[in-house]
Amino acid sequence: MTTSNCDPRPAPAGGDRVGLLNHGRDMVAIPGPSIIPERVLSAMHRPMPDIYSGDLVTVSDEIFERLPDVARTTVGRPFVVIANGHGAWQMAISNTLARGDKVLALESGSFAVIWGEMAALSGVKVEVLPGADDLPVDPDAVRERLADDPGHEIRAVLAVQTDTATSVRNDIAAIRSALDDTRHPALFMVDCIASLGCEPYEMDAWGVDVTVAGSQKGLMVPPGLSFVWAGPKAIAAHERSDIRVGYLDWSSRLDATAHYQLYSGTPPVPHLYGLQEALTMIAEEGLESRWERHRLLAEAVWAAIEAWSSEGGIGFNIADPAARSTAVTTILTGDIDAEEIRRLCAESAGLTLGLGIGDFAGRAFRIGHMGYLNPPMLLGTLATIEAALVAMRAPMGESGVAAAAASLGAHFG
């Protein structure tokens, strides 16, 4: 069992040269959990403190003070959920909706639909606005559907900023315009689990009522925490919500007099220290600089794909660069066996790539390029993929490594 990314591996058995080269620091390039900085890991590694007073309370206060900045809100109330992203999804639903309410889930890949399925289990009626696997949500289709709801039966619109299956990035501001143009009062809820801290996002300026995120993707903290930011309209909707889940309920958290009430009990101590350090690192870098770094790294990935691409071989899932995520890329592999690329990278080189999920199984792989990442980490990933393509004698246009290096090199200096 591997417990750290620098564990020694057994030498390859006689004649078995599969792992010959694979003795170094592993690279995990999946779209979450992403690589956790040493600073965050070190901050988490500590004995348990007094949870009623002292340093931990200061850390907790600082986290709640800083979280709104990451979502670009001054009016949104942050909530910390001791759960993965699914827990934040549930918190958003059970605090703002009532049984029998209808929500509209905007399909663009997998995740808005899965969020909707969770809402349905809570007694909410869910309508899916169908979308495609290789396109963003069409704001005109949203406008049309909302215009056809004069009685305002739809109580909430569920959207995903970046769909981690297809690597599409939806235009959240344009979807907001569809609600505004139709003067539709539905709550606008956005899943930024894969994108927060990576892609430009403006909760207040884009009129988002509920933002949801997780710790383990762009925010550089191990899985186990997630976040909800609730704007004034969402807090008001809480009054009429009747899907109450005690552990996730906002009422006691909004009225918290002791900081552990913000967590519905004992605080997740190591995660709070890790999150404090990650938020410090994000503030040091600057959110806008982070967005730009992610864009430049993504452009290097795209340059590599463009160069590799060939008839029947490697290609983009999202053709339009403006609709591509800058945090994750889904790469179609045509006639090339995507699972063999992943196997070679993992076993021969210690590189873990994301697998194609849902309809993409076996015909795509994914690169997570989110969070704590610099050019050598990314170029190493791309070069290792190219080595696997060479090993497979797979069709390849040109060197993606050269293209990625040229793309990044243009920004050195």
Ligand X SMILES: *Cc1c(COP(=O)(O)O)cnc(C)c1O
In the complex, what is the shortest distance from the CB of residue 330 to ligand X, in angstroms, rounded to a whole number? 12
Provide the angle, in degrees to the nearest 10, between the axes of the packed helices 287-308 and 269-285.
80
Select 327 or 336, whichever has its Cβ closest to ligand X.
327
* Residue 211, phi-psi category: left (phi > 0), alpha (psi -120 to 50), beta (remainder): beta
**Alpha-carbon gap, residue 237 to 246, rounded angstroms:** 17
Helix (H, G, I), strand (E, B) or coil at 374: coil
Q: Least distance from C-beta 325 to ligand X, angstroms?
A: 10
Q: Is the dihedral of CA 11, 16, 17, 21 positive or negative?
A: negative
Q: Which is nearer to ligand X, 84 or 182 (CB)?
A: 84
* 270 upstream amide cis, omega within 30 of 0: no
Distance, first Cα to last Cα, the chain: 42
Minimum separation from the CB atom of position 195 to ligand X (A): 7
Closest residue to ligand X, based on beta-carbon distance: 85
Name every residue whose Cβ is closer than 8 Å to that of residue 263 and which is 6 or more positions away in sequence: 80, 82
Quickly list H helices, 286-368: 287-308, 338-349
Q: List interacting residues with ligand X (CB under 6 A).
A: 32, 84-86, 111, 160, 164, 191, 193-194, 214, 223
For ligand X, give the closer residue by CB, 12 or 270: 270
Amino acid in the structure at residue 298: A
What does the DSSP 8-state code read for residue 103?
Answer: E
C-alpha to C-alpha distance for 30 and 248, rounded to whole angstroms:
29
Beta carbon of residue 329, minimum distance to ligand X (angstroms, whole number) = 13
Considering the complex, state which of residue 91 and residue 389 has its C-beta at the smaller distance from ligand X. 91
Nearer to ligand X, 32 or 371 (CB): 32
Residue 228 or 336: which CB sits closer to ligand X? Answer: 228
Partnered with residue 156 across adjacent β-strands are 103, 187
Instruction: State in angstroms the smallest separation of the CB of 85 from ligand X.
Output: 3
Length reported for the chain: 413
Q: Which is nearer to ligand X, 184 or 271 (CB)?
A: 271
Q: How far is the CB of 192 from ligand X (least distance, A)?
A: 8
Q: Where does 72-170 show beta strands of DSSP type E?
A: 77-81, 102-106, 125-129, 154-160, 162-163, 168-169
The least CB distance from residue 219 to ligand X, in Å, is 11
